[in-house]
A = this chain, B = another copy of it.
Amino acid sequence: MVRLYQVALIYAIWSALTVMTRPRPLVIDSHRDASVCVHCQARPFSVCSVISDPDLEQLGAAAVTVSVQPGHTFITEGDPAEHFFNVTAGTAKLFKLLPDGRRQVTGFAGVGYFLGLAVTSGYAFSAEALEPVRICRFSRTKLRTLLDDFPALEKKLLEVASNELVVAQEQMLLLGRKTARERLASFLIDRAALFPHCVGRVPAGAKEQIHLPMTRGDIADYLGLTIETVSRTLSRFKAERMIDIPSNSEIVLLQHAALEKIATGMT
């Protein structure tokens, strides 16, 4: 189904080279104000929500804030997993590569997303900023200390990991058994259920406009399709008046219920 071709191979090599020569993400505040967590807008959406205000100082002291520019990779698959990350602003794509350049995007990490749960020696995926991203970075050892001090944090991480597993299984169903049309419908419905840029859920009846920080190529790699199929399928939804596409990064859902039916395979 997927064919390896020269361009992809060359791109993979080129891409590996640029990663090596690419400037590192900028650490903006290694000795920051310990009260930073108190005012963190991402807290309600993140694992940090289980830490009470008085304990926040200890949490803040363990973290370093890092900014990442769009297009820059801040986690590389296979690298020693020395850090955990918590996204506090922006969106990143998480992906795995095959040697010839074929890419699978395994998820998009928005505000509040906790990254780096893998306990194997190396990271299981790469992460690249789609928009300007801010992250809190913890070293493996410091997080271990935090988990011992705050059992609630460990419970929360288990909860987060369990939810991720459910999402991953749903994605396996999508990749293994859904048609292109069903995949796109599922993607739109899932995106509509997010607060813009956030992990949380929208209140019922919110405006059905969704923002897409990723390109058509990223969507294709997330859904196991090609750019062309993503584009064609969206065009068809538009022709059928199920969606509107005011710009490349904005989509309005005009018939949520109908899309949901398609997404669940009920057509």
Could you tell me which A residues sit within 8 Å of B by CB distance? 1-2, 4, 96, 98-100, 102-104, 106, 117-120, 124-125, 147, 151, 154-155, 157-159, 161-166, 168-173, 175-180, 221, 223-224, 264-266
Contacts and interface: CB of A to CB of B under 8 A. Distances in A.
B173 A172 contact: no
Given A118-B162, A154-B154, A224 B175 contact: yes
A265 B4 contact: yes
Contact of A165 (B117, B172, B173): B117
CB-based closest 6 A-B pairs: A176-B224, A175-B175, A168-B168, A98-B265, A161-B161, A104-B173
Given A176-B175, A177-B98, A119 B2 contact: no
Contacts of A157: 158
Contacts of A175: 172, 175-176, 224
Given A168-B168, A169-B96, A119 B163 contact: yes
A265 B102 contact: yes
Contacts of A221: 176
Nearest to A77: B169
